[in-house]
Amino acid sequence: MATTTIQPQTTVHHDDGHEHEHHEGNFWTTYVFSQDHKTIAKQFLITGMAWALIGGLFSVIFRLQLGFPEATLEWLRPVLGGWITPEGKLDPEFYLSLVTMHGTIMVFFVLTAGLSGTFSNFLIPLQVGARDMASGFMNMLSYWFFFLSSAVMFVSLFLSTGPASGGWTVYPPLSALPQAIQGSGLGMTLWLVSMALFIVSTLLGGINYITTVINMRTNGMSFTKMPLTIWAFFFTAIIGLLSFPVLFSAALLLIFDRSFGTSFFLSDIYIAGEALSNVGGSPILFQHLFWFLGHPEVYIVLLPALGITSEIIATNSRKPIFGYKAMVGSMMFIAILSFIVWAHHMFVTGMNPFLGSIFTILTLIIAVPSAVKIFNYVTTLWGGNIRFTPAMLFSLGLVSFFLTGGITGLFLGNSAVDIQLHDTYFVVAHFHLVMGSASFFGMIAGVYHWFPKMFGRMMDDRLGYIHFWMTFVGVYLVFFPMHYIGIAGFPRRYYSWTNFETFSGWTDLNMLVSIAAILTLSAQFIFMFNFIYSIFRGKLAPANPWNSTTLEWTTPRFPQHGNWPGEIPTVYRWPYDYSKPGAKEDFIPQTVPYSETPESNLKHENDLIKLEMGSGSGVVTGNGH
Amino acid sequence: MSDMKIENMRIVEEPKKPLAMNPKKFGLWLFLTTVVMVFASLTSAYIVRRAEGDWKIFELPSLFYWTSIAIVISSITMHMAYLYAKKDNREMVQTLLTITGLLGIAFLIGQFYGWVQLVSSKIYFVGNPSESFVYVLSGLHGLHLVSGVIFLAVVWRKSALGKLVSGNLAQFEMCMTYWHFLGGLWLYLFLFLSLYR
């Protein structure tokens, strides 16, 4: 009995009463209110891409103002209407709205929902071997809360007073008082409503991801056999679960301050000589609450990208990932550290310098696990049989940005140096490289890599290469000069510098940055075209186009609801058996038992064969249900 | 050596799930974690703000003592209902669940009149943050308790329809976990507000 069942390939296609798994729904239940994790993932992806386009366009508009302060933007009047002043300039308050919305959209809607929402949803059930998420209904709710949140934020863009404009960090009192800036009126209210809905969406999703990873793994999928993607999504979900409720608290108190007249964050404010009635609040308190979410949020954005990259780099180097346990350990260490470094965003709030040095040390410690990760990426590549697919190129791009952007973090994390660099373009350069571009590249790499599984077709490689080189060069051209601009003392979020003698010398560099930004954005249209074209006209994808080992490539070309037509495959080995000495091919899928590969087994793996027979008969007893 | 292997084989032969917990129960615990984080952040905000001075000190409403007693008793009746449910004693389950629900509603009414007491002693929601915090913490807890009462009503209905049988108590257990949690949360908040004035 055991001998027939140790071959999972034969049991996979056994049809044993699972027809009920792939029932046909109508258009609404299949494409709109779907509870299938793959459809929900695509919904997140497409919504995220739409937001990325809006966020990117916003950045180009404000870059036009910064790079070409003398130019007339009259030609944008048909789109922006009253936000172009009669002199043909961008309205200064609208400039601030654009900056705020660019940050909010990119951080939350693109790199949190678009990245985690897409890939956690798509890959967790497929890679751990589950038919779907723990709760498909909650998963659906998660997307629709995100959609509702998106809709509210989108509506706020069209208000006559403009969307929220107090910066994506929405510090009070600026964000609390409509008298301070127009965007702090209805725009800010909608921002808060939207974020509350967004938090609900993230928590619903996160609870599902954690539950699925812990409770729904297939037979044999022990924690040490999980792909690094799953580890990354798992830690991301835990971080989100612990930090987003804190943002909720901050938003709640801010709502009370704004709409009910309490004074949690407001005190001693005079507007046009008149004192406001609010006394006893502390604006610093908001910063503490905000950054308790805000810093972990950086890793919520980054960890999934790192997980995706680990997977892609190992697959395309045709080598096992170097230091699997070190990778897991460093991600866990980063996740823990992310909760105890938040005050490095607040060095100049007048905090006790001793406290500042504690946060400096804690912050600099993050360099250790980060360096471990970069080291492991490089050593995985070393001596590998590298295939430069677009996904691989974007993953390498991530490693590059993670390094160049991470190094400037050492400067900024230092409380003494930060006094000079705080709120300058140096900060903007740092986080756009290490968090923005790195995560964005991880997301794009993931799209190129798993597109065949998502849509059953291949994306065009040549367009992918053009997209990569334009974006990669573009991103460095945008953010590298910003370091110099920042060290020169240019403050971020300023509408114009031409009024200051000190800053008049850098107009050429700013012009370069703006031109590069336009170039980078235009490259994304190549990607958009490639993406949409390939969904309908791309080359048909083989079942396992990258010769990958993980479970998602054992599904049919178009996995139905339930993912595997027959029994869920059993897992026998870790996911990184690439180029194993002695093996027939340069990859051995996780579903191949050791008993089938005597030529490549290591000594301790031969000992495991007997155990496999045991679990094989377990599958047989499972057939009876 | 070979004995050990055979034993290992027997272990893996069982088609076991990696973790024996019901996914829904596990999800509930994760949800409770988020609630803990909301209140942990609010009470830490309270501590941080209090340390900055300009902090008004006042007495908590006396009704809060009575509501605390009510919520503790409701937890006891809830647990008794569970013990009877395991013995399939439907009548007692119904009675005890009803008492639990009524105590929960009594708690909510008591909290509301506690606010009335506060207002009458000129402690308003809009004022010094120390005053606002009492309203926010008790109000947010009350809101969660409303959801607890709704959950309880769902379980009560299930019991009334005779669908609550000793072999299938997962939902009941989740409701009980939530209820005990909310009771414990209130005791924490009450103790916190009394000690950190």
Q: A275 - beta bridge partners? A: A270
Structure confidence at residue A23 (pLDDT)? 52
The mean pLDDT value for A452-457 works out to 95
What number of CA atoms fall less than 13 Å from residue A446's CA on the CB side? 29
Mean pLDDT of A186-215: 95
Q: What is the mean pLDDT of residues A491-509?
A: 84
Within 189-218 of A, beta carbons closer than 8 Å to B belong to: 203, 206-208, 210-212, 214-217
Describe the crossing of helices A283-317 and B23-51 by its angle, rounded to 10 degrees: 140
Minimum Cα–Cα distance from B20: chain A residue: A215
Cα–Cα–Cα angle for A546, A548, A552, rounded to 5 degrees: 105
Q: How confident is residue A119, by pLDDT bands cut at 50, 70 and 90?
A: very high
pLDDT for residue B23: 85
Note whether B48 contacts A282, CB cutoff 8 Å.
yes
Residue A17 lies in a domain: no
Provide the CB-side half-sphere exposure for A161 (13 A, CA).
Answer: 15
Structure tokens at B88: 């399939």
For tokens 């367009």, name the residue: A463
**Closest CB from A215, A285, A617 relative to B17:** A215
Same domain membership, residue A594 and residue A498: no
- Compute the distance between CA of residue B148 and CA of residue B145 in angstroms, rounded to an integer: 5
Q: Which residues contact A241 (CB under 8 A, 6 or more apart)?
A: A203, A206, A207, A210, B30, B33, B34, B37
Q: Say if CB A58 and CB A66 are below 8 A apart.
A: no
Which of A135, A246, A280 lies at the smallest CB-CB distance from B128?
A280
Q: Do the domain assignments include residue B43?
A: yes
Note whether A521 and A590 are same-domain residues.
Answer: no
Least Cα distance to A119 among A307, A313, A392, A401 occurs for A307
CB contact under 8 A, B35 and A245: yes
> What is the predicted ipTM?
0.89
Test B136 with A245 for CB contact under 8 angstroms.
no
Instruction: Give domain status of residue A4, yes or no.
Output: no
Instruction: Please indicate if any CB of chain B lies within 8 Å of the CB of A242.
Output: yes
Q: How confident is the model at residue A197 (pLDDT cuts 50, 70, 90)?
A: very high
CB A501 within 8 Å of CB A546: no
Predicted confidence (pLDDT) per residue in A527-581, tens digit: 999 999 999 999 999 999 999 999 999 999 889 888 999 899 999 999 999 999 9
Q: Does B32 touch chain A (CB under 8 A)?
A: no
**How many domains, in total, are found in chain A?**
2
Q: For residue B13, is it within any domain?
A: no
CA geometry: angle B164, B168, B170, nearest 5 deg: 100
Distances from the Cα of B112 to the Cα of A378, A420, B125, B192, angstroms: 62, 51, 13, 19
Q: Which two tokens stand for residue A289?
A: 């609450």
pLDDT in tens, B111-135: 999 999 999 999 999 989 999 999 9
Express the helix, strand and coil content of chain A in percent, nearest 5 each.
Answer: 65, 0, 30
Q: By mean pLDDT, which of A499-503, A531-535, A538-542, A592-596 is the weakest? A: A499-503
Range of the domain at B88: 24-195
> CB of A435 within 8 A of CB of A298?
yes
CB-count burial class (<10 Å; 0-12, 13-18, 19+) for A365: middle
List the single residue in A241, A262, A282 with the smallest CB-CB distance to B30. Answer: A241
Does residue B57 sit at the A interface (CB-CB below 8 Å)?
A: no
- Decide if B2 touches A, using CB distance below 8 A: no
Alpha-carbon gap, residue A495 to A492, rounded angstroms: 9
Residues 6+ apart with CB under 8 A from A233: A116, A119, A120, A123, A124, A209, A213, A303, A304, A307
pLDDT band at A229; cut points 50, 70, 90: very high
Segment A416-451, tens digit of pLDDT: 999 999 999 999 999 999 999 999 999 999 999 999
- Measured CA to CA, the distance from residue B30 to residue B47 in angstroms comes to 26
Residue A65 has pLDDT above 60, yes or no: yes
pLDDT at A9: 37
- Measure in Å the smallest separation between the Cα of A158 and chain B Cα atoms: 32
Residue B181: inside a domain, yes or no? yes
**For residue A469, what pLDDT is reported?**
97
- A502 and A601, same domain (yes or no): no
> B12 vs A614: CB contact, 8 Å cut-off?
yes
- With 70 as the cut, is the pLDDT of residue B2 above it? no
- pLDDT tens-digit series, residues A295-305: 999 999 999 99
Q: A210, B30: Cβ pair inside 8 Å?
A: yes
Place of tokens 């001075």: B53
| Domain identity same for A342 and A438 | yes
The pLDDT score that the predictor gives to residue B136 is 96
Q: How confident is the model at residue B19 (pLDDT cuts 50, 70, 90)?
A: low
A525 and A611 together in one domain: no
Task: Please check whether residue A355 touches B, CB under 8 A.
Answer: no
- d(CA A476, CA A265) in angstroms, rounded, equals 39
Q: What is the CATH number of the domain that holds B168?
A: 1.20.120.80
Q: Give which of A128, A20, A114 is closest to A625, Cα–Cα.
A: A20
How many other CB atoms are found less than 10 A from the CB of residue A78?
8
- Domain shared by A509 and A455, yes or no: yes
Interface test with B, best of A249, A259, A352 (most B CBs within 10 A): A249
Closest C-alpha among B104, B64, B65 to residue B81: B104
Residues B18, A215: C-beta atoms closer than 8 Å? yes
Q: What are phi and psi of A82, to 5 degrees?
A: -65, -10
- Split into its structural domains, chain B has a count of 1
Query: In the block, which residue shows the tokens 């999504």?
Result: A233
Question: Which residues is A540 bridged to in the sheet?
Answer: A457
Residue B189 domain-assigned (yes or no): yes
Q: Which helix (H) or strand (E) is A270 found in, with range? A: strand A270-271
pLDDT reported for residue A276: 87
**CB-CB under 8 Å, A134 with B37:** no
Q: How many CB pairs under 8 A join A and B?
A: 128
Q: Considering only residues 89 to 148 of chain B, which have any Cβ-Cβ distance to chain A shorter than 8 Å?
A: 125-129, 132, 136, 140
- Indicate whether B98 pLDDT > 50: yes
What average pLDDT score do residues A476-499 get?
Answer: 91
Which residues neighbour B12 within 8 Å (Cβ) at sequence distance 6 or greater?
A611, A614, A615, A618
Residue A491's beta-bridge partner residues?
A424
Partners of A90 in the β-ladder: A84
Contact call for residues A534 and A455 (beta carbons, < 8 A)? yes
What phi and psi values does residue A578 have, to the nearest 5 degrees? -100, 140
Q: Please report the DSSP string for A393-434 in residue order.
A: HHHHHHHHHHHHHHHHHHHHTSHHHHHHHTTBHHHHHHHIII
Over residues A491-500, the mean pLDDT reads: 86
CB nearest A248 (choices: B5, B38, B128)? B38
**B53: closest chain A residue by CA:** A280
Q: Looking at chain B, which residue has its C-alpha nearest residue A249?
A: B38
> 3-state DSSP call for residue A90?
strand
Share of chain A above pLDDT 70, in %: 94
For the segment A217-242, the average pLDDT, to the nearest whole number, is 95
B27 at A interface, C-beta within 8 A: yes
Question: Same domain for A453 and A513?
Answer: yes
Q: Is the pLDDT at A194 greater than 60, yes or no?
A: yes
Q: Which residues in chain B touch residue A172, judged by CB atoms under 8 angstroms apart?
A: none
The whole-number average pLDDT for the span A259-282 is 88
Last residue of a domain, one of A537, A559, A590: A537
Last residue of a domain, one of A537, A563, A581: A537
Task: Name the closest residue on chain A to residue B11, using Cα atoms.
Answer: A614
Mark yes or no for CB contact B33/A610 under 8 Å: no
Q: How confident is the model at residue A115 (pLDDT cuts 50, 70, 90)?
A: very high
Q: Which domain holds residue A609?
A: 546-623
What distance in Å separates residue A564's CA from the closest CA in chain B?
Answer: 18
- Contacts of residue B119, defined as CB under 8 A and 6 or more positions apart, other chains included, come to none
pLDDT given at position A436:
95
pLDDT at A25: 67
Mark yes or no for CB contact B18/A203 under 8 Å. Answer: no
In whole numbers, what is the pLDDT of chain A averaged over residues? Answer: 90
Same-domain check for residues A529 and A595: no
**In terms of Cα–Cα distance, which of A211, A163, A206, A153 is closest to A187?**
A163
Greater model confidence, A279 or A111: A111
Average pLDDT over residues A508-521: 95
Residue A619: pLDDT over 60: no
Domain final position from A516, A537, A558: A537
Pairing of strands A270-271, A274-275: antiparallel
Residue to substitute from B13, B16, B130, interface A, most A β-carbons within 10 A: B13
Q: Has residue B145 been placed in a domain? A: yes
pLDDT at A613: 67
Residues A44 and A89 in one domain: yes
CB contact under 8 A, A249 and B42: yes
At residue A527, the pLDDT reads: 97
User: Could you please report the per-residue DSSP string of A105-119?
Assistant: IIIIIIIIIIIIIHH
- Do A289 and A256 lie in one domain? The reply is yes
User: What dihedral angle (degrees, nearest 10) is formed by the CA atoms of A488, A494, A500, A501?
Assistant: 30
Which of A577, A592, A582, A463 has its CA nearest to residue A528? A463
Same domain? For A519 and A444 the reply is yes
Please give the single-letter amino acid code of residue B3.
D
* Mean pLDDT for the stretch of residues A282-294: 94
Is B47 in the A-facing interface, judged by CB distances under 8 Å?
Answer: no
Phi/psi at A393 (5° precision): -60, -45
State residue A90 phi and psi, 5-degree precision. -75, 135
| Residue A320 contacts residue A583 (beta carbons within 8 Å) | no
Q: Over 60: is that where the pLDDT of B10 sits?
A: no
Query: Assign residue A318 a region: left if phi > 0, alpha if psi is -120 to 50, beta otherwise?
Result: left
What's the rounded Cα separation, in Å, for the pair A318 and A279?
A: 63
3-state helix, strand, coil in chain B (%, to 5): 80, 0, 20
Query: Would the CB atoms of A245 and B140 count as touching at under 8 Å?
Result: no
Burial A402-418 (b: 16+ CB within 10 A, else e): bbbbbebbebbbbbeeb
Write down the pLDDT at residue B122: 92
A212 chain-B contacts, CB cut-off 8 A: 23
Q: Write down the pLDDT at residue A318.
A: 96
For residue B19, tell me if it sits in a domain: no
Tokens of A257: 């301050």
Indicate whether A284 pLDDT > 90.
Answer: yes
CATH of the domain at A207: 1.20.210.10
Structure pTM?
0.91
**Phi, psi (deg, nearest 5) at residue A587:** -150, 145
Task: Tell me how long chain B is.
Answer: 197
| Nearest residue in chain A measured CA to CA from B132 | A262
Chain B residues inside the 8 Å CB shell of A138: 27
The answer to whether A285 contacts B45, with C-beta atoms less than 8 Å apart, is yes
